[in-house]
Structure 1
Amino acid sequence: MANAPAAAAVVEALAADVREQSRMEFRHSMIEMVTPVCASLDEAGAHLLRHRRAVADAARTVGVCLVAVGATPVAEPEMTVTGNPRYKAIAEHYGRIVDDPAVCGCHVHVGVPDRELAVQVGNHLRPWLPVLQALTVNSPVHAGTDTGHASWRAMQLDRWPGLGPSPWLASADDLDRTVAVAVASGIMLDESLVLWHARPSAVYPTVEVRVADVCPTAADALLLTGLVRALVATAIDDIAAGRFAPPITDHAVRAAHWNAAHQGLTDTLLDVRQERARPAWDLVADLAGTIGPALDRSGDRPVVEAGLARLRAEGTGTDRQRRVLADVGDVASMLAAASRWTVDG
């Protein structure tokens, strides 16, 4: 079994309106799907499910399957990058670091009025991003075997120097200085490669959260979207009230992210506010309590609470993959199951 370098053919097979929202990514086996700007979770969910089902149908017409997993569990026969000049420049600059197989994430943008506020929002998000990561792990298998990590995607991306935990930043000017140092050192090829777990978008008036593996179902992606939107709204409330982001060391944040990528929700997570390990679902409960007023204000509480209850009952994408592997014992069956989950509502 292997990843199929068929993304170009699949994109070509899409209806024009879906093709406008779909594009080639870094590897020839990857497709990125993008929703338009949405005002509600219902609207976002409808776009997510429609895009996934349309791309899955197009994939079948060219003899392949669409599977939403964070890192490929099988071989990647075509390791060249796609034709985007930016991707070619990245490959030339970073050399053998780019040789890992495909990885796929889920990125959520939330509108923020100005760049200065977006930087402050990022500081407030830092304690909660490892919890979001643990909720969305979906890549335990690599080269046909269980890696022992809940998110192998995160482990692969740790080799990239410009990725990883978001730093604490004093201001937009501080962001610019930090990025300039990274570009001068070569850690970042240019200013566009600010690929932290959360960042002010360089293109849109948004904060972009990019810590999650691609979600196994559209419902899981919608849960992530609701959590991120409520976290951003809560951060804006805290900033308006003069409540500062808690002081958290970079070492603790990095340790918490590794813990989340390794464990998912199966054991403990590092609570960076207290610098101690706690049961994972206790931290999820803290997160839900923190964003409760924002969920009520947006009307998103029913969707988020139902999503968390479903996740607790069914497990993360990693948990689901491991159950199939334990029951059936082969990666092909696991991928067949994941392909069905990909188009679930």
Structure 2
Amino acid sequence: MTQPHHDGPRTSVRPRPAGDPAATAALTLGVEEEFLLLDPTTGESMPVADRVREALSGTAREQSRQEFRHSMVEMVTPVSPDLAALREHLVALRRAAARAADAVGARLVAVGATPVREAHRTVPDEPRYHDMSRRFGPVAHDPAVCGCHVHVGVPDRELAVQVCNHLRPWLPVVQALTTNSPLHDGRDTGHASWRSMQLERWPSIGPTPHFDSAADYDATVRDLIATGIMLDAAMVYWYARPSASYPTVEVRVGDVCPTVDDTVLVAGLVRALVATAVDEVRAGRPAPRIRDCLVAAAHWRAAHDGVDGDLVDLRTGRPRPAWDLVDDLLAALVPALRRHGDLDLVRREADRLRRDGTGATRQRRIMAGTGGDVRAVLDHLAAQTIAG
């Protein structure tokens, strides 16, 4: 994505002295998880989201959201001060949604892309969704995909824009750790995240451009709306962005994770990344300027290989073994992880993921062990979705 030329940075974020409480305070968390509603027998997507939401009660219904497909439901956690509280919310919301899905004859599955087939691809009866359908045509009717969006509290919008600049080199690593959608049409696509491949068809999805300031960000969004590739500012779907709804930085690069523990790991990493970026900005250290085409290449490699191959080290522009880059990321985040009390948990969960593999790796292992039995994969995923 091309960037407008400017004479120099124009940011109002000023360095703060070391030890400033505002620069080191713990950051709050929230997570949005999207799930597929699948036929328990065939594995095909079922257009029953409205019925599932109606079957939810109390807090769970309030924390659910309508999505772009009738076969999807999104569950949104409350703001959480720590990973323990976040985990409790995730478990409760997943189990409530699974019970509601079961009540209408569907199965809730945490998987990044439609694994078998989706016959009903009409959009919900909302004016904005109909506008998107008319504007983007068949792209708006691709099979459903499900992501995990992590929100980290950064109420200063100028700071949030600068934080997003600092996240760019590391988001492909986060993406690789979340890969959980290797299947499409019942077969392995060769990509660890087919969801990422589908989403590339949308013109406003992809790596976050580098912005000099919040004013630069806003002017660019206005220009993109004027070109017609976005209907409105809510269609900023970059991998990291100042949230359109909350005083947060929203990281939306990952597939929905198969288990709560996977989601907690990703949330802990993202919070530490944001906290580290805040420290960098406050210290007056500029974000590296990396060519957009190279960032896009790094994300493609992450979606293709996951952590089972190489990733592009955006500090050097060269491929390296994926887990070497994960280790570099963890090392860079130690101060922020320790500050938030997350270091031991994140290390433990990262070791588990290294041992067991990502969601994509686990799905492929079951496919290989069952002679390509997609139903066995989906049975496993459904059980993992609600495991506590």
Which category of TM-score, normalised to the shorter sequence, fits these structures? Answer: over 0.9
Paired residues for 1:281-296 under 5 Å: 281-296=323-338
- Supply the distance in 1 between the matched residues of 2:67 and 2:137 (Cα, whole angstroms): 18
Amino acid at match of 1:5: P
- Supply the distance in 1 between the matched residues of 2:244 and 2:198 (Cα, whole angstroms): 24
Amino acid at match of 1:93: R
Instruction: Figure out how many residues of one structure are paired with residues of the other and give that number.
Output: 345
| TM-score (normalizing by structure 2) | 0.88
Do residues 331 (structure 1) and 374 (structure 2) align? yes
Other-structure match for 2:192: 150
Paired residues for 1:163-242 under 5 Å: 163-242=205-284
Find the partner of 1:252 among 294, 300, 307.
Answer: 294
Deviation at 1:26?
0.6
| TM-score (normalizing by structure 1) | 0.98
Task: Judge which range, 83-92 or 154-163, deviates more.
Answer: 83-92
Other-structure match for 1:304: 346
Amino acid at match of 1:246: P
| Unmatched 5+ stretches in structure 2 | 1-41
- Supply the distance in 2 between the matched residues of 1:308 and 1:22 (Cα, whole angstroms): 29
Other-structure match for 1:22: 64
Amino acid at match of 1:163: I
Other-structure match for 2:144: 102
Give the superposed CA RMSD: 0.9
Amino acid at match of 1:316: T
Three-state SS of the structure 1 residue aligned to 2:304 is helix
Amino acid at match of 1:95: G
Deviation at 1:341?
0.7
Identity %: 59
- Supply the distance in 2 between the matched residues of 1:98 and 1:19 (Cα, whole angstroms): 26
Deviation at 1:77?
1.4
Other-structure match for 1:54: 96
* Structure 1 residues 10-49: Cα deviation after superposition (integer angstroms, max 9, x where no partner): 1111122210001221111100000011111111110001
Three-state SS of the structure 2 residue aligned to 1:291 is helix
Other-structure match for 1:340: 383
Amino acid at match of 1:24: Q
After superposing on structure 2, the runs of 4+ consecutive aligned residues of structure 1 that deviate more than 4 Å are: none
- Supply the distance in 1 between the matched residues of 2:131 and 2:81 (Cα, whole angstroms): 36
- Supply the distance in 2 between the matched residues of 1:202 and 1:320 (Cα, whole angstroms): 34
Amino acid at match of 1:337: H
Deviation at 1:263?
0.3
Three-state SS of the structure 1 residue aligned to 2:125 is coil
Deviation at 1:96?
1.5
| Unmatched 5+ stretches in structure 1 | none
Deviation at 1:90?
1.3
More helix by share: 1
